[in-house]
Amino acid sequence: MTKKHLLLTLALTGLLLDAGPARADSAASLSVSTGKPLLLSNRAQRTFLKVGLVGRSPEASSRVPVNLALVLDRSSSMAGDKIAKAKEAALMVLDRLGKDDIVSVVTYDSQVEVLVPATRLRDKEQLAARIRAITPRGSTALFAGVSAGIEEVRKFLDNQRVNRVILLSDGQANVGPSSPNELGTLGAAAGKEGISITTIGLGLGYNEDLMAQIARRSDGNHAFVESAEELAQIFKLELGDVLSVVAQEVSVRIALPAGFRPVQLLNRPGEITGQDVFIALNQLYAGQEKYALLEVEAPAGRAGEALTLADVHVSYSALPSGKTERLHEAAAVRFTDSAAEVARAEDREVMVAAVEALAVKANREAVALRDQGKVEAAKQKLQDNAAYLRSSAERYRAPRLNTYSTQNMQDAQNLEGEGWNKRRKSMRKTQYELDTQQSY
The stretch among 16-24, 267-275, 411-419, 424-432 that binds other proteins (CB under 8 A) is: 267-275
- 89 forms part of the interface with other proteins (CB under 8 A): no
Query: According to the binding rule CB under 8 A, does residue 119 interact with other proteins?
Result: no
Could you tell me which stretch among 47-55, 145-153, 373-381, 392-400 binds other proteins (CB under 8 A)?
A: 145-153
CB of 101 to other proteins, least distance (A): 21
CB of 102 to other proteins, least distance (A): 16
Name the amino acid, one letter, at 408. Answer: N
According to the binding rule CB under 8 A, does residue 210 interact with other proteins? Answer: no
Q: Is 322 in the site for other proteins (CB under 8 A)?
A: no
How far apart, in whole angstroms, are the C-alpha atoms of residue 104 and residue 114?
8
206 binds other proteins (CB under 8 A): no
Contact flag: residue 273 with other proteins (CB under 8 A): yes
Helix/strand/coil for 57: coil
CB of 158 to other proteins, least distance (A): 16
Which stretch in 91-99, 104-112, 197-205, 367-375 sits in contact with other proteins by CB under 8 A? Answer: 104-112
Report CA-CA distances (Å) from 17 to 7, 148, 293: 12, 47, 19
What mask, x for binding other proteins by CB under 8 A, covers residues 156 to 195? -------------------xxx----xx-xx-xxxxxx--
Stretch that binds other proteins, among 47-55, 233-241, 266-274, 333-341 (CB under 8 A): 266-274
The three-class DSSP label of residue 350 is helix
Residue 142 in contact with residue 152, Cβ under 8 Å? no
Order of all β-strands in the sheet with 276-285: 38-40, 324-336, 306-318, 245-255, 276-285, 271-273
Question: In the chain, what is the straight-line distance between the N-terminal and C-terminal CA atoms, in Å?
Answer: 21
> Contact 85/231 with Cβ under 8 angstroms?
yes
> With respect to other proteins, which residue has the nearer C-beta, 110 or 410?
110
Residue 316 in the binding site for other proteins (CB under 8 A): no
Our finding on whether 223 is near other proteins (CB under 8 A) is: no
DSSP state of 37: S
Q: Please tell me the distance from the alpha carbon of residue 162 to that of residue 169, in angstroms, as a whole number.
A: 22
Beta bridge partners of 295: 48, 264
Told to check if 383 binds other proteins by CB under 8 A, we report no
Of 199 and 244, the one with the shorter C-beta distance to other proteins is: 199
Query: Are 222 and 423 in contact, with CB atoms under 8 Å apart?
Result: no
CB of 302 to other proteins, least distance (A): 27
Q: Judged by CB under 8 A, which of 46, 154, 313, 328 binds other proteins?
A: 154
Report helix angle 142-155 to 180-192, nearest 10.
0
106 belongs to the binding site for other proteins (CB under 8 A): yes
In sequence order, the β-bridge partners of residue 297 are 46, 261
The answer to whether 255 contacts other proteins (rule: CB under 8 A) is no
Q: Tell which one of 144, 166, 231, 319 touches other proteins (CB under 8 A).
A: 144
Distance from the Cα of residue 111 to its chain's centroid: 30
Cβ contact 393:353 at 8 Å: no
Query: Is there binding between residue 399 and other proteins (CB under 8 A)?
Result: no
Q: Which is nearer to other proteins, 110 or 437 (CB)?
A: 110
> Cβ neighbours of residue 142 under 8 Å, at least 6 residues apart?
73, 108, 167, 169, 171, 173, 175, 176, 178, 183, 210
> What is the SS3 assignment for 375?
helix
Q: Which positions touch other proteins (CB under 8 A)?
A: 106, 110-114, 137-138, 141, 143-144, 146-152, 154, 175-177, 182-183, 185-186, 188-193, 251, 271-276, 278, 280
